[in-house]
Structure 1
Amino acid sequence: MPVAEGGATDEDNLKLACGWCNVVKSSLWSVYDAKAWSSGVINHPSLGVISVPQPFWTLRVVATRARCEAPVGCGARLTSHELFAAPRNIAGALTPTNLMVVCREHDLWAGHRLVSPRLLPG
């Protein structure tokens, strides 16, 4: 839980982050957080009601595919770029078959991945 949202400042609640991540994510939670996926769906402020993938699915998809799967073709690999899981079809459930791996340049979901914790189920 972000400290800015009342989270504890003890070791169990803190994570190392680069300067950019700390500034950008300080008061936001990822839609992949356990509170979100335990309910299966969230009411996203810009996308409406969306399903939320289990964190393990996301990690496994990125780790096993290990390259950008953008339809235009891309040479980004896990060894040289930061990769993300994004939906192939935004209207479909975010299951492993509907997740694709993309680099920052091809991540059309980048602005939608982090949301205020008040939007996530309690």
Structure 2
Amino acid sequence: MSIRVAPEQLAATIRDLPIAYLLTSGAGPRPHVGRVQIALSQDRIAVSGAGATSRVHVAADAAVTLLWPPLAPEGYSLIVDGTAGLHDELVVVQPERAVLHRPAAAPAAPEPETGCAADCMELPVDG
């Protein structure tokens, strides 16, 4: 299921989720994951608390993902893909795609529009 949400709703969704993780890619086969703090700044997401490995990865590859786990087992995770840059002590992410995701109650065929077989909601990101 896809539901369009205005950018200001993305900001409200982020404010309601207390725990966020930054996923970055390095030279190895696995992503690096670190818990971070989030602040909203206009249409960008300011990430503080990124460790040295995350910062090295962002400098080498700007493609990142932010993940907010659900507040309850049946809740949605928020996943935001974007392009990041380093600004002083912050990693600043320009969101490119955002989706609220949770597993489907029963196996389902993927939706033709999104290819998602779970209970997903696309959150459009203006940028």
Q: TM-score, normalised by structure 1?
A: 0.25
Higher helix share: 1
Q: TM-score, normalised by structure 2?
A: 0.24
